[in-house]
Structures are given as C-alpha cells and as structure tokens.
Amino acid sequence: MTGIYGASWLLIAVPLAGAIVLLVGGRLLDRVGHLVGCATVIAAFALGVAVFAATASDPATDRIHQVPIFTWIQSGTLNIDFGLFVDPLSLTFVLLITGVGALIHIYSVGYMEHDPDRRKFFAYMNLFVAAMLLLVLGNSFVTLYAGWEGVGLASYLLIGFWSDRPAAASAAKKAFVMNRVGDVGLALAIFLMFKEMGTVSFSGVFAQIGTLAEQSPGTVTVIALLLLLGACGKSGQVPLQAWLPDAMEGPTPVSALIHAATMVTAGVYLIARTSPIYDLTSDGRLVVAIIGTVTLLVGCIGGCAKDDIKKVLAYSTISQIGYMFLAVGLGAGVYALGILLLLCHGFFKAGLFLGAGSVMHAMDDEVDMRRYGGLARKLPITFVTMSCAYLAIIGFPLFSGYFAKDPIIEAAFAAGGLQGTLLGSAALIGAGITAFYMTRLMIMTFFGEPRWKQLKTAYGQDYHPHEAKLVMTVPMIILAVGSVGAGAYLAIGDRLATWLAPSVGPFEEPEPPVSAGVITVGTLAVVAVGVFIAYWIVGRRPVPLTAPMPVTPLVALARADVGGDAINETLVARPGIWLTGTLVYTDAKGIDGAVNGLAATLGGLSGRWRHWQNGYVRSYALSMFAGTLGVILLVLLVRFA
Amino acid sequence: MNDSLYLPILLLLPLAGSVVVTGMSGAPAKTVKLTALGFSVVELGVAIALWVAYRSSMGTGDTAAPFRETFSVDWIPSFGVSFSLGVDGISLTMIALIAVLVPIVLGASWEEKLPAGRTIGGYFALLLALQAAMIGVFAATDVFVFYVMFEVMLIPMYFLIGAFGGVRRAYAATKFFLYSLLGGLLMLASVIGLYVASGNVLPSGTFDWEALRSIASQIPESTQMWIFAGFAIAFAIKAPLVPLHTWLPDAGAEAPIGAGTLLVGVLDKVGTFGFLRICLPLLPAASARLSWVIILLAVIGIVYGAIVAAGQSDLKRFVTFTSIAHFGFIALGVFAFTTQSIAGAALYMVNHGIATGLLFIVVGMLAARGGSRLIGDYGGVWKVAPLLGGMFLVASLATIAMPGTNSFISEFLVLIGTFTRYPGWAVIATIGIVLAAVYMLWVFQRTMFGPIRGVGVIGDDFGLDARVPVTVGGPAGPSSTGAPEYQPATRGTAVSTAAAVDPAEDSHAAPHSRAAAVRARFGDLTGREIAVVTPLVVLIILLGVYPQPVLDVINPTAQRTMVDVGFTDPVPPAAGPIVGGGQ
C-alpha cells in the first residue's frame, strides 16, 4: 500500500512518539512538553484530513483500504496482522479524535498551566490519542482490543493524574477494573470467533459470519452479546456505568476528551463496526437497544440530583451514549444516526465540559453548583459557548442535537409494536428529563443570586471569578460553533449517512407509525415541559447552599448514583473482600498449616533420633522418610514394568 | 555426531566464573563483582551467538531432528547414560532468558545488604553456579542428565536462601529444600521407571530423550500413568501448582532480591518446562489421559493465586502469589494441547521471567529504600520517586498482561488456544485477567498513589528498620514445634497518624517542598538501578509489539510437541477458504 494510505500508520505513530519523547525526556522537556503534545496531535489531525480528502475523492465503492504493517502474532493457524482498516467509519472517528483532541490539547495548555506535572499530563493525553486511533484504525479484533485496553490505561493514568488524592486513586482503579470486566467480554468474543471461524480480522470475520449464522445462529448471538459486554464497560452503560461519574476526579480536559467526546463512545464504534454481526442477530440488536434505553433513563435520573457540575455532565454523557446505543441497536439502516449523535455529542459535550472547566478555573476548582450562581456576567464567553452546547443537547430546533436525537426517537417508534412504543416513549421521556437537568445546571451556574459572594474558598479566600485566557476560550468557541452547526451540516441531505454507507450499509429513513412531524412536535413539547419544570423548581427562588433534606425516595435513589455503587458493593466488593480474607487464612492455616503440621510431626520423630544420633540428623530425617517413600514407589514400579 | 560447543561453553563458563569468584576471597569487593559480571556478560554474548546460529540453521539440515547444536559424550555407558546437550526452540528461549537475566540480577544485587558474615563474592559465586545448573536443565537431552541438573540446581538455591536471605531464611530454605527433595525423589523413581520401561521395548534400557520419544507409544498406558505421576508431582511442586505451592511464598519472600528473581523468574519454569519436555513427548498416553487433573489445578491456581495475592500485606509474598496465578496460565496452555496454547505457554515462561523479574527487582529497590516489605508502610511513592513509580507501573502493566507488553501476547495465545479445545476452562481462566487488574492496581494504589505517607516513605520515630522481628533464629527447621508464625507487622498506628496529618498539610500549603524533602531522604532510582531495569523495560515493550522473531523460534517446537502427544488443532466449523488470513 503506497501513497497517503500507506502513510496512515503515522496517524498513530506521531502522537505515540510524542508520548514516548515526553515520558523518556523527563524534566528536561518540562518547558516545552505542552508544545510537543499539541504539535503532534495537530499533525495527526492534518494527516487525518489528508487521508479523509483522499478517501472522499475515491469512488464510493472503493473507500475501504487495508493497510498491512507487519505480522504481529502468528502461531499455527492463528495469524494476526498489525494492520489498519481505513474506511469512512474509521476516518470519521479519526477526525473526531484528532480534531476535538487537538482543541482540548490547546485548552489544556491554559488549564494545566500551573501544574508541575504538565509534561506528564500531555504525555498521557498523547498516549490516549494514539491508543484511541489504534482502536478505531486497527484491522482486526485484536488490534482493536489493544487500542481498547490502551485507552483504558490512558484513562486510568489521567483519572489518577492527581495521584496524591485518594479519591482520584480509587476512581482510577475502579474505572480500570470495571472496564476490564467488559474487556473479558470482548476477549471471549475474540476467542469464540477464532474457534468458530478461524480468523479474528474484520474482513475475515465479516466474510464468514454468514456461514456461521447458517450453521449456528445462537453462536452469532453469543458473539454479539459478548461484544456488547465489552461495549458496556467502555461506554459506561448499565450495568457497568458506575465508574464514569467517579472518573470526574481527573482534570477537566480529560473528562472532556476521554470521558465525553471519544473514549466512552468506543462502545458505539464497536457495535457500528461489527454491524455485519449485529445485522444477523435480531436478539442481539434488541438487547443493545434495551441496554441503551435503560441507560439513557438511568443517566437522566442520575443527572437530575447531582450538585457537582461535572457529575451532572458525567451522567448526561451516560445518558447520551444510551441514546447512541439505542440507535445502533435499532439495526440496519440507522447505524448512521448513532454516529451522527456521537459526532454532535463530541462537540456539545466537549464544549460543556470545557465550559465547566472554565467555571471551575474561575471558581478556585469549586465544583458544587450550589456555590455558583449569577456567573453569566462574570464569564460571558463561557456563558455563551455553554449556552450553545446547552441548546444543542436539549435538542432545540436547528441546533445539532435536534438533528441527531429527533430521528433516533422516530426510529425507536418505527421499530413497531409494543417494542417500538416502549423504546420510543422512553427516549421521548429521556429528552424531557435531559432538558430538566441541563436547564437546572445552567440556572444554578449562570443565573440567580451570586451565592459565592458570601462564601470562602477551601483555602479561606474570597472568590474572584474571571474569564479564562484566549488559549482556553478559543477552543470553547470552536466547539460552540460545532454544537450549533455540525448537526445541520451532517444531517441535511443525509450527508453523513451517505458517507458512512460503505462501512455500515445504506441509510434507510425510519418510518414511524405516526408522522415524523407529530413526533418532532411531541418531542419539542416534552423538552419545553422539562425546561419549564427546571425553571419552576430552581429558577424562581434562591438555591439553598446545602441539598434539601429529607427528599422523596426517587431523589434519594438518584443522589445515590441510581443504586449503581450499592449494587457493586453488595454483589462484588464485599463478597470479594470476604473471599480474599477467607482464602488467605485458608492458605496460611489450612494448606500451609497441614504441611507444617506434617513437618512438625516428623520433626518430633526426628527429635528422638537426634538424641540417639547426638543431634546430627536434624531436619534431614525428613529426607530419609522421603527417600523411603521413593524407594517403595520404585519397587512398585519395577514390579509393574 | 555433529558436536557444537555452544552449550558446553554456556554450561561451563558460569561454573568457571563461580570458581574464580570464590577463589578471589581476598580481592576488593568491586573487583570480585566486576569479575562475576564479566563472566555473565560473556555468557550473554555466547547465548546471543547461539541464538543467531540456531536461527540461521532453522529450516536447514535434518528438519525432523528435535534438537540442534547438540553435544554428547558418554558418561555412564553401562546404564546408557550420556552427557547429551541440545536445544529446541523452547529451551533456546529459556536459555536466552537466563543469560539475559543473570547480568541484570548481578547488577541489581550490586549493593545488596547481606546478613552479617556473608560476602558479596560468595553470593555472586552462588548465583553463577545456579546459572550453570539452570542452563544444564534446559539444555539436557538425556533424561538422566535432566534429573541430575534438576537436583543440582537445588543446592545453590538452598544456600542462596538459607545463607543470604531475610529474617525467616532458615525456615524458608528448609521448606524449599524438603519440598524439592520430595519432588526430586519421586522424579528419580520415575526416571528409573522410564529406563526400565524402555528396556522392555528396546534391547536395553535408555535415558536418551530421542530414543525414548520414538518408543513412547509402545509403553503401556498403565505404566505411563505411574511414571507420569512421579514426574507430574515433581514438576507441580517446582512450578508450583496449587496446592503444592506453599513453599514459594516463603522462599520468594525470604530470598535476597537477586536469588528471588531467578527463583520466580526461571527456576519455577523448570516445572512447566518439564511437562513440555518430558511428560508430553515421552508419556503421551498418560498426558492425554491425565490432562484434566493438571488443567483443573491450573485453573484453580489462576483464580486462587489471584485472590490470595489480593490479600497479601507483604510485597514479596504478593509477587510470589501473582506468579502462582501466572503459572496456572502456563500449565493450562501446556495441557490444552493446541499449537497456540503450547507456543503461548512457552512464550509465557520467557515473558513471565522478564515481567516478574522486573516487578521483583523494583519491589526490591522499593524495599531497600523503605526498609520494609509491607505494603502498608508505603504511600504516595510516585510523587517521591517518579522513576521508581514509573518502573513499578511498567512492571504492573506487564503483570496484568496489558497489550503492548510482552505478557499480553503469551496470555492471549494461551487463552485463545485453550478456548478452541476447552471453552469452559478458558472462560474461567479469562476471569483471571479481571482479578489480575484488581490485585495489581490495588497494590499500586496503596503504594504509589495517595498522599505521601507510611513509615517506609516518610520514616518514623521508632527506628528505620521496619522489618518484622520474628522469633526464630538459627537453622530451626522442622525440629521446632512447627513453622515460625508469619506476622504482618502491626504498624497501623504509625501509618494512620501519618495519614491523618497529611490531607491538610499536603493539599495546598507547600506540598512540593515537603515532597522534595521526602524525596531527598527516599531517593529516586540511581544510575546503576536505571541501567539494571532499562533492558527489562525495553524487552517488555519490544516483545509486546514485535514478538514474532521469538514465536518463529518457538512455533516449530510447539508443533512438534503437538505431534509427539498426538493431538491436532480443532478445526473451526465455519472457517473460510483462507484460514486465519490476517487480511
């Protein structure tokens, strides 16, 4: 493979080289670390644009390129190439990752300015970009898995970036372990594919999956469900969602890039990428759609009760990814809708997080929205950019969320029957709750009394909110522009769907039982109700500085992370700790105790011999015993032979 | 016989080094250490030459011959014993591992604090002697020579633990010795059994591996079962498999860092190597019949080792339990009888030696600074010693088989190969990868993350030596009323006061000046230490990204072993025309 495709390995290599240089270079590079970090990601973006342009100029039938690099693992009939799969779907992600990644890198220059470990931060961010690009560009399930775990590692390092905070350390470990649970699913799916089809490359599996579906349709469903388990872990979907809110312990740019715009959407990528598998299993698709629907509701509910601005956004991310899962679960023809929401979400959620970071920056790292209020005047740029993102996420007409979410709700209704009604209604209600919690966030942060005026920071000083520097606001403005316009640009004329067709199949306009216009109006009405309720509850009277108590059981549940942590604690953590304690005790007292008991018995025996032999034998008596045993066995054996 | 001198040189060179170093008792310590290091580096050079020669001869000459670079002289003609050496792909990679590890281990032990009255010369001499014996085990192509080397290997290790180890060294060494002796005796019985059984088929008995392999199918299955049992117990003790593992945590924890690294990194692999070299090819019927026993123990070991590792409070014991879990993977791969699982197991033996070698050495460097092996005595080390923390991270990632590290390749091969034959067992084993993340990251969190705290890091007022005093001295052994109790020290008070002070102090005021003060006391890696760990880090990443050169060496031997044991890989039911094509 020559030309621009042959050079596409540089997409991964350049950010990776940046990470390695920054890590190995040590403190020598402290002054320029952020520049190296930004430059490599921007270079990757430029290269991504070039590859994209080359592909777009190819005829639609010739847009999938295999780029072999070297043989990675070969043993027997297992043959895994380290190669790239450059197609419209992977290129879409490449542009998202490097584009949003570059913006967030630039923002971080300002955000992390005073951190003594800024160089390390950029090294990890570069590592993340490289791993994420490997995830989307790899041409086999194993290269995908490598990227998959690689982004998990970068996420671990960045959540735990402020490693001296115990909460950050715990959150990092929790994220990694819960991701690993999902990874087991992905790994088992790979094993099963190899066992059944003898191949683990995308092209090989997609070529054989039809044969497998004829022989054993159940196996295809099992593969689909195992892949889904992996997707749930990475994307914070129920039942593996509990790590994502905790992951907000990381610096805010990390939350924006990894835990909103890119890494957590990897699950959606996985399902869209493996669309040939999901196309063959309606059961598998239905489970995806159900998981997505449950998650979008759980995320919404969790988002309503949090006072920590980043946790609200984290639950919002869980919920939005639920919408994407719902979309890709609806199957053939509408994969593109999931990707459309994913891209729009990349803009508006990254914008919201960067805005939240700007607010925190202004407020001495305060995250409690109850201590904010009236910040619109102090932070005008932040306010305007976040407002654009806000209108996008609630699906305000003509903003990008509108173009993405509305068709998903229509497609859910179009699934037909009870199933369609349930999925569609849940998605509709979710839109209303989204409007509620996002409006609540905006009101508590930017409107009302400036509650911070009466308060002191954690270090006993007054708050002096100020707008961020240009290096931070410019990326926010660009993301705001994307939040406004990306949806229209990508959706009108089915531009994105047509582009993705070679990868995920042609787009089919969903045909809901009632006309699309009715659903659109209905959605807008529900959203309006959500906005109004938020205003009614938080907008009309002063926000109390502490969360009101007591509350209804529903609010209590939402505050308690919708039960996620409690379930993990009861089902996994406590039994695990108990089992560990028991086994450690058994090992020391039981198994080793038996061994030592035997030794002591023999030792007593040898003690007598010692008197007789003047203490010369000592422990070697045991060896005599063992020797006798051996000789007896030998005699037996020889007779046997 | 086409005699090659590589292997005799590899065997004799460290032995000569050992003798020379022992003879230099009057010389300055530095000269002695440099001499030992010189021998090990030359040895590494010879091993590299052997590797190059082997690679260039692959696919040429008699491709059916199992061994290359063979060397043979008569030893005890009346019993048909000849001193035969040779390598196949699997033993070659193990010999290469030994040759790489020994100079690193010597470097890591450069400033080892030895018990009173011991000299560094004696320590290094024993390490070189151990190297010779280990090379002998992997190079032996005569079952009797294999047995002799297997036993000889015990002696330097016994003294390394017993004379140079930690506080409970006498107990640990005796336990190690007795376990090994028991295994060795059972193995001797089986070796003789093999000889007698071969005498029933051939005109006279033989210990020659190739001759034994050629008649393996003619030995009655019932006889094979008995012989297998003896070997299997010996190898299961050495590997070790649960429940024969309890000597390892004591031996590994009490051994000095250098010896411990070789113990866990190489010596234990003799067990799984024995399965591959002796059991599968020479006792195929018994191996097939009894594979379920080993697989069961292996899978139990994977889960059990991981869970018990999570509960350890002593860093070195922790490393040994993680290794017990990993040995489960190796044994599982060997007895799953697929090309991928066997090649993966062989690669795993090498990779584990590198990865755990690094982990063990880094833990040793940590313990040397903090004066304690207890996890609870550390906290926030990453802030204090970033390089040490970074190396610990690399070792941790290799331990949990993160893609990009060498361990991923081998664990993946073992699991995918096992899955094609025994999906159920593979599923349970795969859960091990979650458990690995749990135990490893938990230790990482407790030692490296969090506020700077712990008596190991910030010191305490009760004296710097935080080692647990244990109430046993001298060669107590089993003649006392039992084992000295293993007691994790109750340092909780000191630790918790330190932790309680921290948050306020650490959060904003002047964390960096404080960290700098602790850093000055604790110290990050020195130039020597960086030189010691760097080759291992490079190997971990290199073999994770580009493992194929090593797999190319191992694959033919794995396939030959499959033929020997009479299995073929399961055929995928829905395979395409180009099976396994990467494209």
Q: DSSP letters of B74-94?
A: EEEGGGTEEEEEEE-HHHHHH
Task: Tell me which of A66, A78, A121, A612 to substitute to probe the interface with B (most B C-beta atoms closer than 10 Å).
Answer: A78
Average pLDDT over every residue of A508-537:
88
Average pLDDT over every residue of B171-180:
86
Which pLDDT band, with edges at 50, 70 and 90, does A641 fall under? very low
Q: Is B304 on the interface with A (CB under 8 A)?
A: yes
Q: B574 vs A208: CB contact, 8 Å cut-off? A: yes
The pLDDT assigned to A612 comes to 45
State the total domains in chain B. 1
Residue A600: which of B242, B478, B578 has the nearest Cβ? B478
* B47 alpha carbon, distance to own chain's centre: 19
Q: A619 vs B508: CB contact, 8 Å cut-off? A: no
The pLDDT assigned to B515 comes to 67
Q: Is A7 on the interface with B (CB under 8 A)?
A: no
Instruction: With respect to residue B43, please indicate whether it lies within any of the assigned structural domains.
Output: no
Closest Cα of chain B to A603: distance in Å? Answer: 4
* B454 alpha carbon, distance to own chain's centre: 30
Which pLDDT band, with edges at 50, 70 and 90, does A487 fall under? confident
Which one, of A177, A193, A281, A268, lies nearest residue A228 by Cα?
A268
Is residue B401 pLDDT above 90, yes or no?
Answer: yes
| A40 contacts A22 by C-beta, under 8 angstroms | no
Q: What angle do helix axes B169-201 and B154-164 make, rounded to 10 degrees? A: 170
Instruction: With respect to residue B529, please indicate whether it lies within any of the assigned structural domains.
Output: yes
| A186 contacts A145 by C-beta, under 8 angstroms | yes
Is residue A559 pLDDT above 80, yes or no?
Answer: no
| A277 contacts A200 by C-beta, under 8 angstroms | no
Is residue B479 pLDDT above 50, yes or no?
Answer: no
Is residue B425 pLDDT above 90, yes or no?
Answer: yes
Q: B574 vs A71: CB contact, 8 Å cut-off? A: no
Instruction: With respect to residue B391, please indicate whether it lies within any of the assigned structural domains.
Output: yes
- The amino acid sitting at B72 is S
The total of other beta-carbon atoms located within 10 Å of residue A276's CB is 17
Q: What angle do CA B319, B320, B324 make, to 5 degrees?
A: 120
| A638 contacts B193 by C-beta, under 8 angstroms | yes
Exposure letters A448-484 (e unless 16+ CB within 10 A, then b): bebbbeeeebeeeeebebebbeebbbbbbbbbbebbb
Mean pLDDT taken over chain B: 85
Average pLDDT over every residue of B311-336:
93
Q: Determine how β-strand A65-75 pairs with β-strand A78-86.
A: antiparallel
C-alpha distances in Å from residue B143, one per residue of B82, B86, B146, B190: 10, 12, 5, 10
Domain ranges, residue B425? 350-462+493-569
Cβ partners under 8 Å of residue A508, min gap 6 = A332, A333, A334
Residues 224-253 of B with CB under 8 A from A: 226-227, 230, 242-243, 245-246
Which pLDDT band, with edges at 50, 70 and 90, does B111 fall under? confident
Cβ partners under 8 Å of residue A26, min gap 6 = none
Closest Cα of chain A to B203: distance in Å? Answer: 15
Percent of chain B with pLDDT over 90: 56
Residue B482: which of A170, A596, A636 has the nearest Cβ? A596
Instruction: With respect to residue B329, please indicate whether it lies within any of the assigned structural domains.
Output: no
**Tell me: the pLDDT tens digits for B346-380?**
999 999 999 999 999 999 999 988 888 889 888 88
Is residue A616 pLDDT above 50, yes or no?
Answer: no
Written as six digits, the tokens of A516 are 């699309």
Average pLDDT over every residue of A538-546:
81
Instruction: With respect to residue B416, please indicate whether it lies within any of the assigned structural domains.
Output: yes
A316/A301 Cα distance (integer angstroms)? 9
Exposure letters B79-111 (e unless 16+ CB within 10 A, then b): ebbbbbbbbbbbbbbbbbbbbbbbbbbbbbbbe
Cβ partners under 8 Å of residue B351, min gap 6 = B398, B406, B407, B409, B410, B543
**Strand spans (E) along B229-339:** none
The length of chain A in residues reads: 641
Contacts of B249-252 spanning 24+ positions with Cβ under 8 A: B249/B317, B249/B320, B249/B321, B250/B168, B250/B171, B250/B172, B250/B175, B250/B176, B250/B486, B251/B161, B251/B172, B251/B173, B251/B175, B251/B176, B251/B320, B252/B316, B252/B317, B252/B319, B252/B320, B252/B323
Instruction: Name the helix (H) or strand (E) containing A451.
Output: none
For B493-524, the three-class secondary structure string (H helix, E strand, C coil) is HHHHHHHHHHHHHHHHHCHHHHHHHHHHHHCC
Is residue A402 pLDDT above 50, yes or no?
Answer: yes
Neighbour-count burial of B570, counting CB atoms closer than 10 A to its CB (0-12 exposed, 13-18 middle, 19+ buried): middle
Average pLDDT over every residue of B479-492:
44
Percent of chain A with pLDDT over 90: 48
Average pLDDT over every residue of A3-20:
90
For B112-156, the three-class secondary structure string (H helix, E strand, C coil) is CCCCCCCCHHHHHHHHHHHHHHHHHHHHECEHHHHHHHHHHCHHH
Written as six digits, the tokens of A235 are 């994307």
The pLDDT assigned to B468 comes to 40
What is the 8-class DSSP label of residue A588? I
Which pLDDT band, with edges at 50, 70 and 90, does A59 fall under? confident
Residues 380-399 of B with CB under 8 A from A: 380, 382-383, 390, 397
Which pLDDT band, with edges at 50, 70 and 90, does B578 fall under? low
Residues of chain B found within 8 Å of residue A176, distances taken between Cβ atoms: 437, 441
The pLDDT assigned to B234 comes to 93
Q: B188 vs A630: CB contact, 8 Å cut-off? A: yes
Residue A77: which of B452, B558, B579 has the nearest Cβ? B579
Rank B163-167, B245-249, B381-385, B424-428 by mean pLDDT and report only the highest.
B424-428
Written as six digits, the tokens of B111 are 């400033």
The pLDDT assigned to A615 comes to 41
Residue A76: which of B189, B339, B438 has the nearest Cβ? B339
Task: Tell me which of A582, A585, A587 to substitute to probe the interface with B (most B C-beta atoms closer than 10 Å).
Answer: A587
**Tell me: the pLDDT tens digits for B277-292?**
999 999 999 999 999 9
The pLDDT assigned to A62 comes to 84
Neighbour-count burial of A593, counting CB atoms closer than 10 A to its CB (0-12 exposed, 13-18 middle, 19+ buried): middle
C-alpha distances in Å from residue A179, one per residue of A130, A239, A290, A326, B430: 19, 11, 20, 21, 14
Residue A184: which of B242, B433, B551 has the nearest Cβ? B433
A406/B350 Cα distance (integer angstroms)? 55
Backbone angles phi, psi at B489, to 5 degrees: -65, 150
Q: What angle do CA A541, A542, A547 make, to 5 degrees?
A: 110
A460/A213 Cα distance (integer angstroms)? 66
In terms of pLDDT, which residue wins out, A212 or B114? A212
Which pLDDT band, with edges at 50, 70 and 90, does A72 fall under? very high
B377/B374 Cα distance (integer angstroms)? 5
Average pLDDT over every residue of B33-40:
93
**Tell me: the pLDDT tens digits for A325-373?**
999 998 777 888 999 999 999 999 999 999 999 999 888 888 888 888 8
Instruction: With respect to residue B395, please indicate whether it lies within any of the assigned structural domains.
Output: yes
B310/B400 Cα distance (integer angstroms)? 13
Written as six digits, the tokens of B38 are 């010189």
In terms of pLDDT, which residue wins out, A228 or A1? A228
The total of other beta-carbon atoms located within 10 Å of residue A612's CB is 9
A565/A571 Cα distance (integer angstroms)? 10
Closest Cα of chain A to B82: distance in Å? Answer: 22
Percent of chain B with pLDDT over 70: 89
Q: Is A146 on the interface with B (CB under 8 A)?
A: yes
Residue B307: which of A187, A579, A638 has the nearest Cβ? A579
Is residue A560 pLDDT above 80, yes or no?
Answer: no
Is residue B11 pLDDT above 90, yes or no?
Answer: yes
**Tell me: the pLDDT tens digits for A569-590?**
777 777 778 888 888 888 877 7
**Tell me: the pLDDT tens digits for A175-200?**
999 999 999 999 999 999 999 999 99
The pLDDT assigned to A441 comes to 92
Neighbour-count burial of B538, counting CB atoms closer than 10 A to its CB (0-12 exposed, 13-18 middle, 19+ buried): exposed
Instruction: With respect to residue B75, please indicate whether it lies within any of the assigned structural domains.
Output: no
Assign A201 to helix, strand or coil.
Answer: strand
Residues 111-130 of B with CB under 8 A from A: none
Assign A582 to helix, strand or coil.
Answer: helix
| A524 contacts A432 by C-beta, under 8 angstroms | no
Q: Which residue of A has its CA nearest to B441?
A: A173
Q: Which of A147-151, A498-502, A623-627 has the lowest mean pLDDT?
A: A623-627
- The amino acid sitting at B419 is F
The pLDDT assigned to A631 comes to 59
Q: Which residue of B has its CA nearest to A26?
A: B387
In terms of pLDDT, which residue wins out, B480 or B175? B175
Q: Which residue of A has its CA nearest to B438?
A: A177
Instruction: Give the A:B interface size as CB pairs under 8 Å.
Output: 296
Is residue B504 pLDDT above 70, yes or no?
Answer: no
Which pLDDT band, with edges at 50, 70 and 90, does B580 fall under? very low
The length of chain B in residues reads: 583
Is residue B473 pLDDT above 70, yes or no?
Answer: no
Closest Cα of chain B to A439: distance in Å? Answer: 33
Q: A196 vs B340: CB contact, 8 Å cut-off? A: no
Q: Which residue has the tokens 């038996």?
A: A594
**Tell me: the pLDDT tens digits for A78-130?**
999 999 999 999 999 999 999 999 999 999 999 988 888 889 999 999 999 99
The pLDDT assigned to B169 comes to 86
Closest Cα of chain B to A318: distance in Å? Answer: 23
Residue B437: which of A180, A216, A619 has the nearest Cβ? A180
The pLDDT assigned to A296 comes to 92
Q: How many CA atoms lie within 13 A of B7 on its CB side?
A: 30
Residues of chain B found within 8 Å of residue A190, distances taken between Cβ atoms: 416
Which pLDDT band, with edges at 50, 70 and 90, does A227 fall under? very high
Q: Determine how β-strand A65-75 pairs with β-strand B68-76.
A: unpaired
Which pLDDT band, with edges at 50, 70 and 90, does A608 fall under? low
Q: Which residue has the tokens 């839109």?
A: A431
Closest Cα of chain B to A372: distance in Å? Answer: 22
A288/A270 Cα distance (integer angstroms)? 12
Residues of chain B found within 8 Å of residue A72, distances taken between Cβ atoms: 546-548
Q: A203 vs B583: CB contact, 8 Å cut-off? A: yes
Residues 447-486 of B with CB under 8 A from A: 448-452, 475, 477-483, 486
Written as six digits, the tokens of B555 are 């694959």
CA-CA-CA-CA dihedral for B299, B303, B309, B310, to nearest 10: 170
Residue A618: which of B404, B477, B574 has the nearest Cβ? B477
C-alpha distances in Å from residue B533, one per residue of A23, A316, A442, B365, B390: 16, 44, 52, 10, 11
The pLDDT assigned to B78 comes to 81
Cβ partners under 8 Å of residue B244, min gap 6 = B179, B233, B236, B237
Q: B478 vs A637: CB contact, 8 Å cut-off? A: no
| A429 contacts A299 by C-beta, under 8 angstroms | no
Assign A557 to helix, strand or coil.
Answer: helix
User: Which residues sit opposite B434 in a β-bridge?
Assistant: none
Residues 470-489 of A with CB under 8 A from B: none
